[in-house]
Amino acid sequence: MRHSKFTAMAALAAVLMMSGCTTGGVDTTKTTAIQPAAKGIDTSDLAQGKAQFRDANYGLAEKHFRKAVELKADNAEAWMGLAASYDELGRFDFADRAYGQLLKVAGRKPQIVNNMGYSQLLRGNRKKAKALLLEAKAGMADPTVVNANLALLNKG
C-alpha cells in the first residue's frame, strides 16, 4: 500500500514537471469571458469619469478623466471633468493647468468660466470668484447654476 502511494506521487510529480517544460502548441481558443477592448477607450474613460464624479468618487473620476485626455487631448468635456475633479480634491495647481488646456481646446465659454469661478470660490478667492461668475452669468441663456454659485459666494 505504501509502495503504491509512493509510485502514484512520483508519477504525478513527473507529469507535472514534464508539462511545465513543454513548449508545444499554445492554446489559441478564443474565450468569451474576456471582453474586447472598447474602440473608443477615451469615451469609456469619459463615461466612467462622469459616473465616478456623480458618485463623489473624485479620485477615481480624476483617474478616468486623465486617461481620457491622455488618449484624446482635444476632448473638452474630459478636460472640464479633470479640472473639476482636481478642484474637488483640493489640487488647485493641477486644476489651473487643466483649465488652461480646456481654454485652449474649447475657448472661453460661460460654462467653463463658471467652473473657474467655482474653483476660485473653493480656494477662498472671493473677489476673483465673483468676477468670473458674473462674467459667466452674462453669457449664459439660463444662469441657474451661476446664480447658485453666486448664492454660495454671498453666504460665505
Q: What CA–CA distance (Å, rounded) separates 101 from 83?
A: 9
**Quick check: 86 pLDDT over 70?**
yes
Average pLDDT rounded to a whole number, residues 128-148: 96
Q: Are 133 and 146 in contact (CB under 8 A)?
A: yes
**Quick check: 115 pLDDT over 50?**
yes
Question: Chain-wide mean pLDDT for the chain?
Answer: 84
**Quick check: 41 pLDDT over 70?**
no
Of 137, 141, 119, 138, whose CA–CA distance to 129 is shortest? 119
Q: What CA–CA distance (Å, rounded) separates 151 from 22?
A: 71
Q: Are 97 and 62 in contact (CB under 8 A)?
A: no
139: which 3 cell numbers?
453669457
Average pLDDT rounded to a whole number, residues 87-94: 98
Tell the CATH topology of 40-92.
1.25.40
**Quick check: 60 pLDDT over 60?**
yes
Angle between helices 76-89 and 58-71 in degrees, nearest 10: 150
Number of H helices, E strands in the chain: 8, 0
β strands within 1-141, DSSP E = none
111: which 3 cell numbers?
460654462
- The confidence score (pLDDT) of residue 8 equals 58
Share of the chain above pLDDT 70, in %: 72
Q: What CA–CA distance (Å, rounded) separates 99 from 107?
A: 10
Q: What CA–CA distance (Å, rounded) separates 37 from 39?
A: 6
Confidence of residue 12 (pLDDT cuts 50, 70, 90): low
Q: Where are the domains of the chain?
A: 40-92, 108-156
